[in-house]
Every structure is written in C-alpha cells, then in structure tokens.
Structure 1
C-alpha cells in the first residue's frame, strides 16, 4: 500500500458548528434522525447506521472548579491495521475493502453476513442497519477523493480545523501544530498518529473529550 491519505482534526480550532456533521449527511444521502434533548448541546448522542459523523460536546463540565467546553468531531479513524477488518474477515471474506491508494477502510454489502457483536473497534465506530443487517460507517468520502475532491467534512469546515492530504504531509503538519500548541497548552498531543489515518490534536487529556477518544 502507498503512504496514502490522512485527515487532521485540530480540536483547538473547532467551534462545534456541526458543519462537518451536516456535510456528511448531505453528501452521503443520509436522512435526518429523530433525537431528544438530554441536557447537552450534542445532538445526536452517538453514531447510527445513518449517522457517520458526530460532533461530540464535552459541555458543562468542570475540573478544579473551572468549567471547560471541548468539541470533538468524531468519525472513523481508518486505522492503518484496522481491527474491524481483521475481525470481520475471520468469518466473511471481502466484506471490508482497504483502498490501496488512500488507505480508506470501506464496508461492503457482505458485512450483513457478520455477527455485529464480534466486530472489534477500539473507537466504537461501526453501526448496523437493523433491517438490512449491513454495517455502516464513514468511507472517508472515497468516491469524492477518486474524483479529485476532498472529503465533504473537510470541505465544509469554516475554521480549517479539519484538513485532508497526503499522509506524510499531514503527519508533518500534526507534529508542527502540536509543538506550537504546547507553548500554551503543555498537554497538547496528537492521538495515535502512527496507528490511524484520522489524526486528532487535543490540548488536554483525550478522555475529557470523549471516552473513546484515545481508543481505550
């Protein structure tokens, strides 16, 4: 496989506007879903078979008496060695494609033959359509990439918090950005950059953003 592509998500630049979340719905023809208010601005509360991107809100929280608000534009990490692909292909071959040019991990209709409970993902990403039993998640907009376009979520981001490009350039960009942020935020880090293609930069403990932020 070539070096492929990567996406950098700099949470320090995210305003929680949900533009990426809406763009994902629009491009992939995913319907709106009924949700309910449970005391947070986050909406919806998690992924579903028709919601592949969620902007998570760590709102109304405090540490040492000081409030903090963090936003986390959550999506499939498109792992370099995807556990989901490994676990799925233990029972069903060719149900998951890892594109050679980009590294994008894409599910096929064959995933309906898989026992959902057996699918391993440290980030809690894949979901199952209860009617068709097909598994769904972000495709990295591989259809757009193949036609010379950038992923819809990247295109929609108004602050430049989400960037797409060749993996080596994204890794270099992440390293430089973390170095810069550490001057103000000593805990700044890139989450698992050597293991995933969707790399998050955070300025605090990853677990403050989302329980699966660090893949634990």
Structure 2
C-alpha cells in the first residue's frame, strides 16, 4: 500500500470510529481498538473500498466479516463496568479481524475456526500486525478449548440455537460470554451470560442480530 493509500485508509477508519461513537458505542477502549486495526487488510481486495462501511462483508466459504458496530457492541458488553477481557476465547475466527480487535482489549486471545482454508487466511492477515497475544486453532468451536480453559471472556461469531454447554463449562468465575442466539421464531438476539461469584448463571437477551449459523466439526 502506498503512503497516500495508507493515509486514506486511516482517515476512513477514523470516520468509521466516529460513526460508531455517534450510534452508541461509548467505551473509548473499544473505539481505540477498532481504530488500531486496518479492516481493509481483512477483506477481499475487490471489497477493500467498502472496508470501512458499517456492514458485514462476504469472505467466501459461506462466511462474513462482522459488521463493525456488532464487533464493537459485543466487546463493549464484555468489558462493561470497567472489567478487562482477560483470557479470551473467540469462536469463529473467520478472517481474523475480530481477534485483532480483541487483542488490544485482552491479555490473551484464543481464536477457533472450523474451516481450515479460512484459518490459513486469518493467519496470513494477522501476520503483518505482529500481535503476540493472539493464538489461532483449527477446531470445532462449539467444544471450546478445554486444555487452556477457563476463560474470563468468551465471544461467539456464529449463531447457535442453544447455549453450547462445553463453552459455559469453560467460563471462569465472574466470567462473561456473549453470543448470537437463534430463537424458536428464527430471529436472532445477542445473549449475554454472566457467571456470578456463587457460580450461578445470569442471562440477558439484548439486541437483534444476524449471524451465520454455528456448525459442528471441522473442514
């Protein structure tokens, strides 16, 4: 990328951050993380001109890069109340964009992707950013990563019709998990799960969202 193109991308990113602030993202830590990540580096070259629109974009393999507002909103809910993300599990790494954003908010990010070729793309996208706290894994995300659990924060970038039990079991005390939940009506909502100090779980159903489905297995 030429210096002129890099400057234009930075300006477009700054405008996107301002739009996110205007439509309700308040946590400056989240906005700063969004501003640090060059979203154009995570989309197909043909779509680079649309990288800083507040919209999901296709990645191939039936997957999408999430809408910036949704990435910011999910992160903001996880750190609400002044908490840090801590050790974080991301289910559905996709192209690596959300993992990059989370890396500026978390001590460690473990990102799972079930599609091997997409995970290769995520590795390629992330390599130039040299983010030492991001680890990628080719695995079935619905099973989590029990070998490195528990997690302070868990974020799903794919919708499930029920809360994956394995992921709840890997949530640390006072940890939080955010996920799209497909309801019986077929509509999806953002579900926040908080493990209370006594071990009990609190669930809150929030914004309407639209995500690709969470699928089992790997390919």
Q: Taking structure 2 as the reference length, what is the TM-score of the superposition? A: 0.26
Structure with more contact order per residue of length (Cα contacts < 8 Å, sep ≥ 6): 1
Structure (1 or 2) with the greater helix fraction: 2
Q: Taking structure 1 as the reference length, what is the TM-score of the superposition? A: 0.26
